[in-house]
Structure 1
Amino acid sequence: MADQQSNISRTTSPNVALGMLLLVYIFNFVDRQILAILAGPIQADLGLSDTQMGLLGGLAFALLYSTLAVPLAWVADKTSRSWVITVSLAVWSGFTALTGLAQGFWSIFLMRLGVGVGEAGGVAPSYALISDHFPSEKRARALAIYSLGIPLGSATGVIAGGYIAATVDWRLAFFVVGLSGLLIAPLFKYFVRDKAKVPAPAEQTVAPYSFMGTVHILARKRAFWLLAFGAASSSMLGYGIAFWLPSLLQRSFGLSLIDTSLFYGAILLFGGVAGVLGGGMIGDRLGKNNKAAYGLVPAAAFLLAVPLFAAGIMSGSATIAFILFLIPQALAYFWLGPVLSAVQHLVPAESRATASALFLLINNLIGIGGGIFFLGALSDSLTPIYGEDGLRYSMLYSLTFYVIAAALMALAARPLKKEWIAED
């Protein structure tokens, strides 16, 4: 007990905590995105269909990732958020490395289940740690900086994975990425510690750290459900495009594996970073005086992204497609800072990780579990009609998910103003 109190008393600088959490999140998305750039070599080596790859990229990962996130977040709220993240990083990195030994569909499926188990304990406790270290008026920007792990990790996974696979072997890419994450785990725990928990007020009616207490709070929050299902709808397309765009670039635009990795890596890096930071800054600025902005900003971004994505998908030139994809890729990330910050403000501070996990359960089970598989299965069904362009039309038709997401985010604007919990 004395050691635990001593560990907590050695406070972590907010910027150091944020920097280390960002590093872990980068590895989180390197491990997710690497399968997308390696889909071509894996399919060629193991004879897998688009539907099977959709299951590996979606359901195999999302099944346990989404469901275990809730109990692991509750454990993080009740015990140590930094320890849960550390162990999670080690587990998902280990299974990523083991993926390099896979010999067929089911062995990769099991390894992706393991990656999902590990990553289940990484994100929601990280949201809560950031909210512990940063005040309300800076929280969307801090969460946006943390969310840079998505484009940075995705771009790193695409570029590094594609280069290693093209020059050596796709299996080596999994070994390198997984073992690198294992080395980071002890460094993270050394530098990042939990903040001391503030005792709950005596008049609080919901018991602190109670899972059902958090569920009861959220059950009455219309904004939570609208934001969660809006994010899930956007993720159906977002994760689907993230997984299948490398294959589209090779099939319909004729790019090599290395050219594809550089093309898509640049889109993720420049478009993603601009979108994540832009959404966080605009959300904080507009939301300071009007909490509805945390829903309206993402809604506008999704609507603007649809025609630009459509033009890029149907373009016949890789150069023109690159330009067209940059802007909607940025707009697709605008929701992260505002929405994640809003979810943190719908529950008391001691329930943030659990609330985030429930949000992620909806977002990821539907978005990752359904989106990647849906686009792959739709591609297979459209291939007899459009041939090699079946995947292109699968993406085009799936843009409807962004329109649905925009509508749900806009509907969340009014209840957000009423249900927001002011603090700090």
Structure 2
Amino acid sequence: MTTPASSSPIGSAVHGRRLVLAMLLVVYTFNFLDRQILSILAGPIQADLGFSDTQMGLLGGSAFALLYAILGIPFALVADRTSRSWTIAISLGVWSGFTALCGFVTGFWQMFLARVGVGVGEAGGVAPSYALIADYFPPQSRARALAVYSLGIPLGSAAGVLFGARIAAAFDWRTAFIGLGLAGLIVAIPFKFLVKDRARQSPLPLAGGAGGGQKLEAAPSQPTPNPSRRREGDIISVFATLARKKSFWLLSLGAGSSSLCGYGLAFWLPSLMQRSFGLDLVATGQFIGGILLIGGVAGVLAGGWLGDRLGGGDRAMYARVPAIAFVIAVPLFAAAFLSSSPATAFAFAVVPQALAYIWLAPVITAIQHLVPAEQRATASASFLFINNAIGLGLGTLVLGALSDAMTASYGAEALRYAMLAALGFYLIAALLMALGATALRKDWVEG
């Protein structure tokens, strides 16, 4: 009699890793929900507390990135040496608590410190999640698994603007921070009960696919201690390995350049729709949410599919696909920003929004394959340090400062032209990714 997949050893393993991936996706959704809610609430906050565009730029990126980029590496090292799932659960609780505290601030520096706290919490979430996915999924399906996880970016960003706008319109911006922060605190409890670490010797086999015929080995709920592996995971050893690889620097700097533009546009687009297109808070939330849910989700999934499909035959495609996507995205974004109606802007913005997200799964997968398995979280954190220091640290601030500087010449349209100027960073990202493609073939570590 045929055993149902759900009750067979391999079927149970597949079900288990899908549950883990689903829970990681929920946490990552809250990550970007709490990170991006400030963008839709920028108008009400500025009206209430009198912040300038430059100050909002600092709050939207630099305050968050101040410790987020730095602490990601030591937190990832702790996760590699102890428990990745515990690190993620505690991080979720911390950043959700500080999100709720944002609802009680009365001035710029209070808000600045609260956003720093959100960044401290989120520093322990992403890199351990990348590594945990690599522990559970075999190489031939990792890009798709990381693409599903990366759906947290458009889903969380969309949820942030949609719920933030509606709550703020019904109550006020303070209630939006408090309510969404408390929701994240509640999620942290079931996450730890459902997500367990597993042994890191080899990923679970696929059912009915590559590796599906292999015998499934028992996977303990906690990693098996191995002193030699822990020594290999030493932060100096990981840095030394990555520093020798040209592809790491080119992909990290390319991602950072794209994130500078991406984070900046994501933060300031709601303000553009209100200032230049005349949308109210709720309509702006629907506009941004629609672009993210349609374009963002499609782009993330397409990146995962293209990474596994093309990267299996040529590792260079993990970098070339993002490079091509960035080049195509630039003129389409420009057309959206220069359009005269919200409907036209939406039509032009959906496709480049998808193209701007394609890089996530291929590049993140490539970073996982630059080091041995026991060093993945620390390697991911090293990549995220560069990406976030540039992207998060500078993106919203650069666009805010440009908007203030251009106000004398362009008046109310200054933000529109600041966003157009920022598109040049996507072209820089494309160049760096293209240069890193060939080196990636030589630097790739199988397994």
The partner residue of 2:388 within 364, 370, 375 is: 364
Select which of 266, 281, 304 maps to 1:280: 304
In 2, Cα distance between the equivalents of 1:278 and 1:224?
23
1:325 alignment counterpart: 349
1:134 equivalent in alignment to 2:158: no
**Are the aligned partners of 1:37 and 1:261 in contact in 2 as well (CA < 8 Å)?**
yes
* Alpha-carbon separation, structure 1, partners of 2:19 and 2:421: 43
Indicate how the Cα distance of structure 1 residues 150 and 365 shifts in structure 2: closer, same or farther if over 3 A, else same. same
Does 2:156 match 1:153? yes
Paired residue type of 1:227: L
Task: Pick the aligned partner of 1:57 from 56, 60, 71.
Answer: 60
Number of the residue aligned with 1:82: 85
Distance 1:137 1:418, change over 3 A: same
Residue in 2 aligned with 1:3?
A: none
Matches within 5 A, 1:31-46: 31-46=34-49
* Alpha-carbon distance between aligned partners in 2 of 1:45 and 1:417, rounded to the nearest angstrom: 53
Secondary structure class of the residue paired with 1:13: helix
CA RMSD of aligned residues (A): 1.6
Instruction: Write the distance in 2 (CA, Å) between the matches of 1:384 and 1:260.
Output: 26
Please tell me whether residue 418 in structure 1 is matched to residue 421 in structure 2: no
> Which residue of structure 1 aligns with residue 313 of structure 2?
289
- Structure 2's unaligned 5+ residue stretches are 1-11, 202-223
Other-structure match for 1:5: none
Contact 2:59 2:111 in 1 (8 A): yes
- Counterpart check, 1:245 vs 2:245: no
- C-alpha distance in 2, partners of 1:182/1:201? 33
Question: What displacement does 1:219 show?
Answer: 0.7
| Other-structure match for 1:386 | 410
Aligned positions of 1:168-183 closer than 5 A:
168-183=171-186
**Alignment pair present for 1:107 and 2:110:** yes
State the shift of 1:203 in Å: 10
Find the partner of 1:196 among 192, 199, 209. 199
Residue of structure 1 equivalent to 2:96: 93
Letter in 2 for 1:415: A
Residue number among 123, 128, 131 corresponding to 1:125 in the alignment: 128
CA shift in 2, pair 1:296/1:172, >3 Å: same
Could you tell me which amino acid in structure 2 is paired with residue 224 of structure 1?
F
Deviations 1:43-68 (A, max 9, x none): 00000000000000011000111100
Alignment of 1:190-229 (within 5 A): 190-198=193-201, 207-229=231-253
Residue identity in the other structure for 2:38 = L
CA distances 1:54-92 after superposition (whole Å, capped 9, x unpaired): 000011000111100000000000000000000000000
Q: Which residue of 57, 69, 72 maps to 1:66?
A: 69
**In structure 2, how many angstroms separate the alpha carbons of the residues matched to 1:247 and 1:115?**
22
Q: Which residue of 1 aligns with 2:216?
A: none
Matched-pair contact (CA < 8 Å) for 2:32–2:156: yes
Structure 2 Cα separation of the partners of residues 272 and 163 of structure 1: 21
Aligned mates of 1:393, 1:200 — CA distance in 2? 55
**1:200, distance to aligned residue in structure 2 (A):** 10
- Indicate conservation of the 8 Å contact 2:200/2:373, yes or no: no
Query: Taking structure 1 as reference, are residues 253 and 213 closer, same or farther at Cα in structure 2, changes over 3 Å only?
Result: same
Residues 137 and 197 (structure 1), Cα distance of their counterparts in 2 relative to 1, 3 Å cut: closer
Q: Is the 8 A contact 1:159 1:262 kept in 2?
A: yes
Shift of 1:201: 10
For residue 167 of structure 2, what is the aligned residue in structure 1?
A: 164
2:391, 2:253 → 1: CA distance?
9
1:353 aligns with 2:356: no
CA deviation digits over 1:150-191, x for unaligned, max 9? 000000000000011112100000011000000000100000
For the residues of structure 1 that align with 2:182 and 2:327, how far apart are their CA atoms?
Answer: 40
Match of 2:427 among 403, 414, 420: 403
For 2:346 and 2:200, locate their aligned partners in 1 and report how far apart those are by CA, in whole Å.
47
Contact 1:200 1:208 in 2 (8 A): no
Q: Secondary structure at the match of 1:207?
A: helix
Query: In 2, Cα distance between the equivalents of 1:385 and 1:404?
Result: 27
1:207, distance to aligned residue in structure 2 (A) = 3.3
The CA deviation string for residues 243-298 of structure 1, in whole angstroms up to 9 with x for no partner, is: 00000000000100110000011101110000000011011100011000000000
Residues in 2 aligned to 1:120 and 1:146: alpha-carbon distance in whole angstroms: 17
SS in 2 for 1:281: helix
Aligned AA for 1:191? L
Aligned match of 1:235: 259
Structure 2 distance, partners of 1:104, 1:241, is 25
- Deviations 1:72-118 (CA, angstroms, capped at 9, x unpaired): 00000000000000000000000000110010100100100000000
2:51 matches 1:48: yes
Contact 1:312 1:320 (8 Å CA) reproduced = yes
SS of 1:363 mapped into structure 2: helix
Name the SS of the counterpart of 1:106 in structure 2.
helix
* Cα distance, 1:202 vs structure 2: 11
Q: TM-score, normalised by structure 1?
A: 0.95
3-state SS of 1:290 partner? coil
- The answer on whether the counterparts of 2:154 and 2:293 sit within 8 Å (CA) in structure 1 is yes
Deviates most, 34-43 or 10-19: 10-19
Equivalents in 2 of 1:263, 1:370: separation in Å?
Answer: 25
CA distance in 2, matches of 1:83, 1:186: 11
Which amino acid in the other structure matches residue 136 of structure 2? H
The amino acid across from 1:309 in the alignment is: F
CA distance in 2, matches of 1:376, 1:197: 44
Q: Deviations over 1:183-233 (max 9, x none)?
A: 0001000000001233899999x9322111100100111101100000000
Residue in 2 that maps onto 1:22: 25
Q: How many residues align?
A: 413
Distance 2:419 2:73 in 1: 31
